[in-house]
């Protein structure tokens, strides 16, 4: 017992020394990398380049086995609730990472770590995954990786409304995220084999965006500009960052046209060979329009009912007039999945009303409410009472299109040291 008690302070002191060394070695620039733009991957060529880049990087370091395809593909690259970001020089993708929004399905990191201790009824969690830089663009000062991380944080925080960003990394690489970017461990446990990346050793961590400004300001208050992580990530403005949207109430920004989705699944990438029947069922529900029938026809799927993952506030009114705030997480054709601070107050609910961009939608008549977890509930509703919701689910669904350029605020390391294992 005495050894255990003494080991914790010793470990903390060792980490403090290591972290201090990393912070002294970092060198940051107050301008973005030259001739590089940062954007959502929104063309088939861009996403194809992402898959090739990840295949080359992951097979080189053992995060996936060579299979001769030349591409790494996961269903997250085409789910509307996931966002693959790229750094692009001319026509070439030279860096990438993907933001996976937490929904009813588990995130990859949840295969090995629980997120229960950071989950809150009114907070949105996402996972940062598949981060890599093209070998020809890795540098000693890590200029490109820092810019890509800065862009990812900005998109997650400002465009997607994410509160906590989780990730998995090897223990060796985790030092960078803890020391400089102040990620906190999900657990002190080190996982021997993370199947999502070919059995690689992994640790888990998260960054609290709500406290990021305060934490960075305190840590880097008197640090010179070239080592000031607070100024770089919180104050410098890079006009090469393209924003996704002004606001997000439904996660629908990564929707591909039928011919593009077919290209990814059945064309040169052959993504269909990399995903399970369950993955196909989920994709079909996100792409439920009849326009996609031919894309999924060969896979003999069950009848698809539409769904949309959401990040929408709302209220539930009881018969006595009580109003309980909620966050809508997923909308389906006959039910709505939500979270609330006090779910038991929902049981007498009669109407649900969404609040979108400060505008109230028509009330939805509630048929029943089931409590499904500590903070979770499922509302069965009358579809005929909500033409607005049904229009969201049954229309042809806006497909991905390029966005206009938008101004946004925005050590001696080798960039391959920063890679997520996810």
> What pLDDT digit, counting tens, does each position of 238-250 carry?
999 999 865 566 7
What mean pLDDT, rounded, does the chain reach? 86
Please state, as a whole number, how many other Cβ atoms lie within 10 Å of the Cβ of residue 162.
25
Least confident interval from 35-44, 254-263, 288-297, 391-400 = 391-400
Neighbours of 303 (CB within 10 A): 6
| pLDDT for res 401 | 41
Each domain of the chain, given as residue ranges in start order, spans: 15-252+402-418, 259-299, 307-394
What is the sign, positive or negative, of the torsion defined by CA atoms of 408, 411, 414, 419?
negative
Measured in whole angstroms, the distance separating CA 179 from the mean position of its chain's CA atoms is 22
**Which is nearest to 201 in space by CA: 185, 190, 188, 186?**
190
Res 327: pLDDT: 95
Share of the chain above pLDDT 70, in %: 87
CA distance 379 to 314: 13
From the CB of residue 175, how many other CB atoms can be counted at a distance below 10 Å?
18
Would you call 57 helix, strand, or coil by DSSP? helix
CA–CA distance, 115 with 110 (Å, rounded to integer): 7
**pLDDT tens, 269-283?**
999 999 999 999 999
Specify the residue for token string 């989780």: 166
**Per-residue pLDDT band at 52 (split at 50, 70, 90):** very high
Give pLDDT, residue 413: 34
Fold of the domain built from segment(s) 15-252+402-418: Aminopeptidase (3.40.630)
Q: What is this structure's pTM?
A: 0.89
Q: What is the pLDDT of residues 310-350, one digit of tens each?
A: 888 999 999 899 999 999 999 999 999 999 999 999 999 99
Distance of alpha carbon 11 from the chain centroid: 31
What pLDDT was estimated at residue 172? 87
Q: How far, in Å, CA of 372 to CA of 365, rounded?
A: 20
pLDDT, tens only, 132-149: 999 999 886 799 999 999
Is it the case that residue 43 has pLDDT exceeding 80? yes
**Rg, the chain, Cα only:** 22
pLDDT score of 248: 63
Could you give the 3-state DSSP secondary structure of residue 361?
coil
3-state secondary structure of 137: helix
Instruction: Summarize the confidence of residues 88-99 as an average pLDDT.
Output: 97
Q: What is the pLDDT of residue 7?
A: 43
Per-residue pLDDT band at 10 (split at 50, 70, 90) = low
CB 89 within 8 A of CB 35: yes
Tokens of 46: 């861009």
Q: If you ran DSSP here, which 8-state letter would residue 404 be given?
A: P
Tens digits of residue pLDDT in 104-135:
999 999 999 999 999 999 999 999 999 999 99
Q: 350 versus 360: which is more confidently predicted?
A: 350
What average pLDDT does the segment 21-49 reach?
Answer: 94
The sign of the dihedral angle between the CA atoms of 113, 185, 238, 160 is positive
Q: What is the rounded CA–CA span in Å between residue 124 and residue 146?
A: 24
Residue at token pair 């008549």: 365
The span from the CA of 402 to the CA of 40, in Å, is 8
- Tokens coding 38: 């940062």
CATH of domain 307-394: 2.40.10.220
Taking only the tens place, the pLDDT of each residue in 362-389 is 889 999 999 998 999 999 998 887 887 8
Q: Tell me the HSE value of 128 on the side-chain side, using a 13 A CA sphere.
A: 32
Q: Which residues, at least 6 apart from 18, have a Cβ–Cβ distance to it below 8 Å?
A: 175, 179
Residue 360: what pLDDT?
64
Using one digit for the tens of pLDDT, what is the confidence trace for 154-202? Answer: 999 999 999 999 999 988 889 999 999 999 999 999 888 787 777 788 8
Please state the separation of Cα 130 from the chain's center in Å.
Answer: 11
**112 token code pair:** 């090995």
């Amino acid at each position: 017992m005495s050894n255990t008690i003494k080991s914790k302070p010793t470990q903390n002191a060792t980490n403090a020394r290591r972290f201090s060394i990393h912070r002294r070695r970092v060198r940051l620039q107050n301008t973005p990398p030259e001739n590089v733009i940062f954007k959502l991957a929104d063309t088939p060529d861009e996403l194809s380049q992402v898959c090739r880049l990840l295949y080359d990087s992951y097979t080189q370091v053992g995060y996936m086995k060579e299979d001769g395809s030349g591409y790494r593909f996961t269903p997250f690259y085409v789910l509307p609730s996931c966002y693959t970001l790229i750094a692009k020089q001319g026509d070439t993708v030279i860096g990438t990472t993907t933001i996976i929004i937490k929904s009813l399905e588990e995130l990859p990191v949840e295969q090995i770590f629980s997120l229960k201790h950071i989950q809150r009824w009114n907070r949105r969690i996402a996972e940062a995954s598949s981060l890599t830089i093209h070998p020809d663009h890795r540098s000693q000062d890590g200029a490109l990786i820092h810019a890509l991380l800065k862009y990812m944080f900005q998109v997650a925080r400002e465009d997607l409304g994410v509160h906590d960003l989780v990730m998995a990394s090897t223990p060796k690489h985790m030092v960078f995220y803890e020391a400089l970017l102040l990620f906190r461990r999900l657990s002190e446990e080190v996982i021997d084999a993370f199947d999502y990346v070919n059995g690689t050793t992994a640790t888990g961590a998260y960054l609290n965006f709500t406290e990021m400004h305060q934490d960075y300001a305190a840590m880097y208050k008197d640090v010179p500009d070239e080592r000031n992580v607070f100024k770089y990530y919180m104050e410098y403005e890079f006009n090469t960052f393209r924003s996704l949207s002004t606001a997000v109430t439904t996660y629908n920004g990564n929707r591909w046209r039928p011919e593009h989705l077919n290209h990814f699944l059945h064309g040169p990438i052959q993504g269909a060979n990399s995903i399970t029947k369950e993955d196909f069922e989920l994709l079909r529900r996100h792409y439920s329009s009849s326009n996609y029938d031919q894309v999924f026809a060969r896979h003999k799927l069950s009848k698809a009912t539409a769904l949309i993952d959401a990040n929408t506030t709302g209220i539930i009114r009881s018969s006595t007039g009580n109003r309980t705030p909620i966050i809508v997480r997923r909308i389906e054709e006959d039910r709505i999945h939500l979270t609330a601070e006090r779910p038991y107050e929902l049981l007498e609910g009669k109407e649900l009303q969404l609040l979108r961009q400060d505008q109230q939608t028509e009330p939805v008549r509630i048929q029943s409410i089931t409590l499904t977890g500590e903070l979770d509930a499922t509302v069965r509703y009358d579809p005929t009472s909500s033409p607005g919701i049904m229009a969201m689910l049954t229309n042809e669904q806006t497909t991905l299109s390029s966005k206009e350029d938008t101004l946004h605020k925005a050590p001696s390391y080798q960039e391959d040291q920063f890679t997520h294992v996810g």
